[in-house]
Amino acid sequence: MYIKKIAPVVGLSLMMALSACASGGNESIKNETGASIDQKIHDGTTTKEQVRQLFGDPAQTSFTDSGHEQWQYAFDNSKADAANFIPVYGDLHQGQHGTAKHLTIIFNGDVVWHHSMNSSAVKSSAGLF
């Protein structure tokens, strides 16, 4: 009898916990750090094809003012704030926190000229307050 009463609460809690996470972008940089990227990419040596084999196609490509091709990779991972689940308050305010990773690679011809990996904490909110 006790299980029949608690099962809906456990089910709802599990659904809320699973829906509280979101991620997007290039999964290949999900677990990367500046140090791990530096071990894989070497300025003046690593080629475009090697970068493509490591990380796949970039999310964005562009060119610098000096004409160098630039590839950008991004991955965002966020979780809902616990306060989102407080009755009434959660209906009026929604927040998320997590990390955003960005890998930028600039090529000189077919070889990496410079590269940079950044990871930063991000927070967003929406609602009446």
Which tens digit of pLDDT belongs to each residue from 111-124? 999 999 998 876 76
Provide the number of structural domains found in the chain: 1
Write b or e for each residue in 14-45: b if 16 or more Cβ atoms lie within 10 A of its Cβ, otherwise e: eeeeeeeeeeebbeebeebeeeebeeebeeee
Supply the pLDDT for residue 10. 44
pTM of the model: 0.69
Supply the pLDDT for residue 18. 40
Would residue 3 count as lying in a domain?
no
Would residue 2 count as lying in a domain?
no
Residue 113: give its domain's CATH number. Answer: 3.30.1450
d(CA 67, CA 86): 52
Q: Residues in the chain with pLDDT < 50?
A: 9-19
Share of the chain above pLDDT 70, in %: 63
Instruction: State which residues form the domain around 59.
Output: 22-127
d(CA 51, CA 104): 11
What is the DSSP secondary-structure string of 39-71?
Answer: HH--TTT-BHHHHHHHH-S-SEEEE-TTS-EEE
Would residue 59 count as lying in a domain?
yes
